[in-house]
Structure 1
Amino acid sequence: MTFIGKLSTQQRTGAVILGCLALFAVAEMFLFSIDGNQQFLAQAFASPDWQAPLGRDQFGRNMFARLAGGLRISFTLSLVCVVTSAVLGVLAGVAAAWRGGWFDNVLNFFANTILALPGLVLILVFAAVVPGSFVMIYLAISLVLWVEYFRLVRAIALNQVASPALQSSMLMGFGKFYLFRRHIWPALKADVFSLAAFGAATSVVAMSSVGFVYVGLKPPTPELGLMIVELFPYYHEAPWLLLEPISLLFLIVLGFHLLAGKAR
């Protein structure tokens, strides 16, 4: 059975939503290549037309191009944050369960220290150190997210390490990579996939949140949260412009949350 065939109806719905958003973001870049930062002040708040199907903002910039650019930034950040935090969290969780002792205690202390700090506050602190830095936002979100993988993986791996099946394989001389792939990873993969989907949504929301307080990416970068802040003062003149980035932010988070459901 293929991977798509294993998905539930809820997960397929989320995959379709995310696929459509990704198609929009990629198609705009390769088929249209519109400069979303080019200003046409005489066309400020212009209604949608064939050149700008989603209208123009307060500087006359093409919203079609800017929204596509915002989606590309959101997908890129969510991907790199999820990959980094998942790899780090899974490796640390398995190592802590396998080795135990002082190694497990040190990792637990580090994870609990991070958990003691509100995640969004920690991200805001990192983002404020170098405002406008994509790398700092990525590092901060990854630092917050890896703890969830670590705690979950460690709890599951502890049971698997002590299982008779794994102990038998160890006595037969199989290497640790085989033991992980044969006994531990099958017990982890469904939960890690769900955490990855939730983590991707969290990454997008976190980047938008730091954009709300102007310590995230800087103008004229087309980041969804920053676009909402910039367009909010003009919601009386052009309410549809404010609704566009809000709708995309809602859809991308909804898509990831639906994708996090249980497979059949």
Structure 2
Amino acid sequence: MSRIDAKFAQLRAEGRKAFVSYVMAGDPDYETSVAIVKGLPAAGVDIIELGMPFTDPMADGPTIQHAGQRALDGGQTLEKTLQIVRELRKTDNTTPVVMMGYYNPIYSRGVHKFLQDAQDAGIDGLIVVDLPPEEDSELCIPAKDYGINFIRLATPTTDDARLPTVLQNTSGFVYYVSVNGITGSAAANAGTVGPEVARIKAATDLPVIVGFGIRSPEAARDIAGIADGCVIGSAIVSRIGAGDSVPQVLDFVSTLAAGAHSA
């Protein structure tokens, strides 16, 4: 059983929903990023999504784009991103970590070298937004051989004809993008999202986690209440970008986690 599977089994047993937090690796600098990531589990985070900074983040809005640029300007690399996870694993061997980003840095490193390094570092899952199911042989299927879940995005435009293709090699959980557009672009609406989550859950036994457009504890509660959990990224990253201290960031995260866990 993977760490992701074990976490969802634990949450089900406890009758709780998952709170997933996204932060950009290396933002605003490597040392601060390590401190934030290591503090997330104690702040109530069930699964950590760790962004891989990239020069052309086409699915991301300005908040995440700026975070990636800050990280790159500070010298963040894919190797340093893996090192953040290695640092976490020195004290935490149970919290799942999902790396989220784009294929180019992985391809440049070499798929099998990346997967071996990711496995060794303690990475549990991958979300690679620019690799569609038609390209599963590139990374998705090889990742399974290393015991790494490949988590697919479903969106409001993923219709019933497309959904089986999206789900066919997905593992860990399904990430439902609650709004059309880039990260941070609009607010998620539970009334709209609920039927879509139900439609996806009717087609898979995997947990469905909802992200994009969730910015407050109340929104986290509402969205987690109609799914298996929620993801919050831009709202957290904006605090980091505003210069909040590590304790301030983690205090904010704890309020979001409490919201999700109250669903």
Same fold (TM over 0.5): no
More strand by share: 2
Relative to the length of structure 2, the TM-score reads: 0.25
Q: Tell which structure's C-alpha radius of gyration is larger.
A: 1
Relative to the length of structure 1, the TM-score reads: 0.25
More helix by share: 1
Using CA pairs below 8 Å that are at least 6 residues apart, which structure has the higher relative contact order? Answer: 1
